[in-house]
Structure 1
Amino acid sequence: MHSLKNNCLVYSSVFSAGLIFLSSCGNEAAKEDQTTIRYSIDTVSIDSKDEILFLQRDLYTSDYSEQDGMLYNLNDKTNHVEQINLNSLAIEKMIPFEREGPNGTGFWTSDLKSASDQRLFFGGERSGIYTLGGKLQQIFNWSDIDKEKGGILDEERVHYQVVNPNFPKQVFAIVVNDQTNSVSLRQLKTSDDFIQSYNIDPNENYKTYTLGDLTNYNNWDPYLYIKSTQDHIIVSHEFANDFYVLYPAKDSLVSISYQSSLFESKVKPTTEGDLINSTKDRKNALKSYRSQIAYGPFAYNNKNRHHVRLSASIIYGEKEREGYLLPEIESSTLYISIFDKNFNHILDSEIPELKKTGIPKYFIREGAIWLYLNLDDELNFIRIKF
């Protein structure tokens, strides 16, 4: 990324692509039009005001709030949330949260999400919605639900969670079954004390791309993404492009897949090497998968009323990175996929200016895609403006 100079370099580009057919719920629709999109790229820096921002997890436990224009980033070492003002491009304040007591978040947090109205959702040991003053307003206790009402089994674990402002008494999660190496989408309704289950992996992508011994916890599982957008929940996968959209109000789950002229619909798995016991062979397999294609989560562009998904083909170098499984990125090819508001696939195109980003944490703000960029341990963002 040395070719991007902070705050000053702007690319202006045009890309076009033939619209590709959509396969949704068994239906296929052919498209013939051409679409052209203009975009520019720049970078911005965040003023930390002498605070040391928590970047060790690459903004993994963070979320952007459209309601107030703030990025909320959890420092899980101190249990503070950094409130970063993206209007002024500066840290606003550090918000402390308790770990114990009636307002405690617990000692580990896997998810942090904006819950609207100056509230945050913590998913983890103690899942709930908290005010910015640190008060617990709504708790979601998965373990309280009886097995007869869809409760979590002993061999299952709640993996990733999300809430949707349209459904304040509900929480949604990807649940992993470690006995069957399967995943499902669950919906906890606290008002009914009931958990609904949905099949979001009929092709067994989770099992296919898990590296290691499938009979115990000694394995590396692929990324799964769960996103809350408008009035629905989207679940997608790191190594396959099929995805699932839940409309809670209708209790309707829609399965969508599509074909691209630029990359395969799913990664070709490898069986070479000792993938159960050898860390080296697992790393080589993971490198092989991501060199083919790796998909990111969905994001919704309110300004242009379309859904965006980034993906990349990533080549790793030799220099190891502390705290990472794989070495530094040597090069990558970044792609953007665009869908209309009803998830009809519009286009895929390469973004050739960005050659070493991989797929960092990203979100959409005022029509632009913001991609996380760490420059000398300072928080920056690459912006793709449409």
Structure 2
Amino acid sequence: MKFILLAFSILILFSCATSVKENVEDYSKITLTMDTVVVDSGDDIINLKYGIWTNTLSEDNKFLYLWNTGERTMDKINLEALRLEKKIPFEREGPNGVGDYVSWMSFLHENEVLLAGFGTLLNFDMEGKKIRDLDLGKVTFGKVNLEAGDGFDRNPIPIEKGDVIYGYLGNGINGTWTFVKANFKENRLTKIELPGINELPDYKILLEGDNINSSASPERVLKKAGDRIIISSSAYSTLYVLNLNNDSVYQANYTPKLSPKQKKGGYPEKVESVERFREVMAEIDAEINFQAPVWDEQNRKFYRFSFETLPTDIYKGPLFISAHQRPISKVYLSILDENLNLLGETLLDIKQVPNTVFVRDGQIWSYVNVKDELGFVRMSIKYE
């Protein structure tokens, strides 16, 4: 039996560049308290070989579901009790087969989850029984047919039990993505324009070399906050807000005081060698990188981390590496009000970027591997 571990507790006082006040809270000074807890896995093992890359939270943030590729199980983590509650087995083949690979997953409601495979969307109940199997290559949206290999990027937002999905739809090989609303019940696909998006420093780098074709682009993340979807990019601070009641979209623009507000842009659109691809990506990652803002329902605020990496020699490992996996030079925390106005920001005295961030009971949680056990750093913020 493994016991919950309180690994450390740190009290840090930060000074911000801004001095914006709201009510009695002074956002020019932030007191940040951190501790680390470890999940009790009992007699089982939570496989962290790939981190917690494929995961989803219950709507009330009480449970975290992790997809275990090696065992083909969905591990249900009770975040209140900090224990592994159960492992839900799935079949690889047959009428309840999930296939060889799950690229992302999304909690639909307490009895159902949506899993994405190669060009498929699969609805399962919480016992591993398949409810619906949707082959995207066979879906016809009016006169629009999807191309072979098309699918949703990693974090689309399903509503109405998965009958409607908002997200970036396209092809990861050529890097072609379009933000859409897909209504599978009515077979209707609607492209949603993001105002002013062409003026921001987006990029797509195609690698077209001998025996290899691939692409890289900024990480685009969707987060649901009440009846809104917040759309962010790792390349700039600007956010987009989609109202789920009428599908209207507007741009929320703020300017950080401690860091650049966006990447420089002007990168090559195509390279012909793996070495040049690695070089360009290292240069891009050394610039500012923005994570998605996370919503704190209790305190009615958004928290957003951003960071810069150290210039290094060309990375020799896997071709694709996330920016946060590189040596880190600076990590920032920005605090935004519920309308995404900047309240305050600070430079954090840490060299590891918070990973898989969410908020529970007013605390910021971030995944950490503690000696191959599932752990979380919990951050509590107070204002003087």
Same fold (TM over 0.5): yes
Distance 1:264 1:281, change over 3 A: same
For the structure 1 residues 117 and 181, does the alpha-carbon distance in structure 2 shift closer, same or farther, using more than 3 Å as the test? Answer: closer
Cα pair 2:108 2:159 within 8 Å, conserved: yes
Consecutive unaligned residues in structure 2, runs of 5 or more: none
Secondary structure, aligned partner of 1:286: helix
> Could you tell me which residue of structure 2 aligns to residue 104 of structure 1?
97
Once residues 157 and 167 of structure 1 are traced to their aligned partners in structure 2, the CA distance between those partners, rounded to angstroms, is 19
Where do residues 1-386 of structure 1 align in structure 2 (5 Å cutoff)? 7-18=7-18, 35=27, 36-67=29-60, 69-125=62-118, 126-138=120-132, 140-146=134-140, 148-153=142-147, 156-165=150-159, 168-176=162-170, 181-200=175-194, 202-203=197-198, 208-210=203-205, 212-213=207-208, 217-269=213-265, 271=267, 276-315=271-310, 325=320, 329-352=326-349, 354-355=350-351, 357-386=352-381
> Cα 1:165–1:283, aligned 2, differ >3 Å: closer, same or farther?
same
CA shift in 2, pair 1:348/1:8, >3 Å: closer
Equivalent position amino acid for 1:198 in 2: I
Q: 1:320 and 1:199, CA in 2 relative to 1: closer, same or farther beyond 3 A? A: same
Change (3 A) 1:179 1:45: closer
The structural deviation recorded for 1:210 is 2.6
Q: TM-score, normalised by structure 2?
A: 0.82
What is the rounded CA distance, in whole Å, between the counterparts of 1:138 and 1:231 in structure 2?
Answer: 26
What secondary structure does 1:109 align onto? coil
Amino acid at match of 1:368: Q
Question: Displacement, 1:117?
Answer: 1.8
Shift in Å, 1:95: 0.9
The answer as to whether partners of 1:150 and 1:196 remain within 8 angstroms in 2 is no
Letter in 2 for 1:266: Q
CA distance 1:266–1:12, change in 2 (3 Å): closer
CA distance in 1, matches of 2:78, 2:149: 42
RMSD over aligned Cα atoms: 3.4
Cα–Cα, structure 1 residues 298 and 129, in superposed 2: closer, same or farther, change >3 Å? farther
Give the number of aligned pairs.
366
Secondary structure of the 1:297 match is: coil
| Contact in 2 for aligned 1:155/1:177 (Cα 8 Å) | yes
Q: Does structure 2 conserve the Cα–Cα contact (< 8 Å) formed by 1:149 and 1:195?
A: no
Residues 294 and 311 in structure 1, CA contact (< 8 A), matched pair in contact too:
yes
Aligned equivalents of 1:320 and 1:271: distance in 2? 19
Q: Output one character per residue of 1:204-237: Cα deviation in whole Å (capped at 9) or x when no partner.
A: 76862535349x9432333221223322222221
- Structure 1 gaps of 5+ residues are 21-32
